[in-house]
Amino acid sequence: MPYTTLIWAAELAAWLGDPSWVIVDCRYNLVDADAGERVYRAAHIAGAQFMHMDRDLSGPKTGANGRHPLPQLADIIATFGRAGIDDSKQVIAYDQNNGMWAARLWWLLQWLGHPAVAVLDGGLDRWIEEGRLVTTEEPQVKPATFIAEQPTPTASAREIVEHLHDGALTVIDARVPERYRGDVEPIDPIAGHIPGAVNRPYTTNLTAQGTFKPAPQLREEFQTLLKESPPASAVHQCGSGVTACHNVLAMSIAGLPGSRLYPGSWSEWIAAPERPVARG
């Protein structure tokens, strides 16, 4: 059975060196976009290759499509092919600790019909805490042919606007509470949130140890958030469509499939002045 949500460090360690597994280091820093690649070169899990959030896992910005727009299909298919990913490969994504960046790769592969992808729970921090080795050696990657299936549906700004007042969608904002409320906005030019959105910071999915909460606990929390609405009504957003993937992953862990990502998220929403903004 493939791993489709999470994998523990001990489980990954047992598969290191298997040619049917592809390990990807997704570390990133919003303040210093090249920091992830630098720390990858300094130390990473053996066999891991690096994917950059901006160059590999996002597409060109137009000023109206958010800070981390989805890649063009041809580009992301080529990226996955260069990484040696095809339908025979188990993919493992990791970042430094909480999965906020690794979840983006997880979501992209799921979006294109590759279910055999999982996030390393606890990331590189947990890997090192358990005494497992890291290396500076970069792997020799054999390219493959990645064949994408029809992308699964995402949500759009237009759809959210159409349903702002009818309760058909439950928009879930993954940002920290102070950004959701509009108290502060360190990144985007306008503070606040989409009217009607509920706040669930992605860190709410984690235990005090930085690993994901057990599936039954996540299920209870999301069902409470959704009230009587089905999981398919959930639309996840954040600042740029990256950390929102963490909530998509958490709902999948919880056994609540069918929620969707709003890829453009807040940074796209505010690019059109006619879209309403709420605060508080």
Catalytic (active-site) positions: 238
The angle subtended at Cα 39 by Cα 36 and Cα 45, nearest 5°, is: 100
Q: What is the CA radius of gyration of the chain?
A: 18
Give yes or no for a contact between 279 and 273, defined as CB atoms under 8 angstroms apart: no
Q: What number of CA atoms fall less than 13 Å from residue 134's CA on the CB side?
A: 19
Residue whose C-alpha is closest to residue 253's, from 209, 210, 206, 208: 206
Q: Which residue has the tokens 């059109």?
A: 272
Residues in the chain: 280
Q: Give helix then strand counts, H and E, for the chain.
A: 10, 9
Written as six digits, the tokens of 66 are 């958010």
Measure the CA–CA gap between 69 and 57, rounded to whole angstroms. 9
Q: How far apart are CA 8 and CA 130, in angstroms?
A: 11
Instruction: Give me the amino acid identity at 71.
Output: P
Residue 30 carries which side chain, given as an amino acid letter?
A: L
- Do residues 116 and 3 lie in contact, with contact meaning Cβ atoms separated by under 8 Å? yes
| CA pair distance 127, 119, nearest whole angstrom | 13
3-state secondary structure of 192: coil
